[in-house]
Amino acid sequence: MHAEETKIAAETVVVLGASPKSERYSFKAVKLLAECGHQVLPVNPYHPEVAGIPCVAAVDQLQAKVDTVTVYVRADLLIKDVAKIIALAPRRVIFNPGTESAEMLAAFNEAGIATEEACTLVLLRTGQF
The Cα 4–Cα 127 span in angstroms is 5
pTM of the model: 0.91
The reported pLDDT for the residue numbered 1 is: 43
The reported pLDDT for the residue numbered 8 is: 56
- The total number of structural domains in the chain stands at 1
Question: What is the CATH classification number for the domain harbouring 98?
Answer: 3.40.50.720
Provide the domain limits for residue 99.
Answer: 3-125
Half-sphere exposure (Cβ direction) of 15: Cα atoms closer than 13 Å = 29
Per-residue pLDDT reduced to its tens digit, 41-51: 999 999 999 99
What's the whole-number mean pLDDT along residues 10-25? 97
Task: Name the least confident of 1-10, 22-31, 87-96, 108-117.
Answer: 1-10
Q: Is 52 helix (H, G, I), strand (E, B) or coil?
A: coil
What's the whole-number mean pLDDT along residues 98-115? 96
Identify whether the C-beta of residue 98 lies closer than 8 Å to the C-beta of residue 120: no
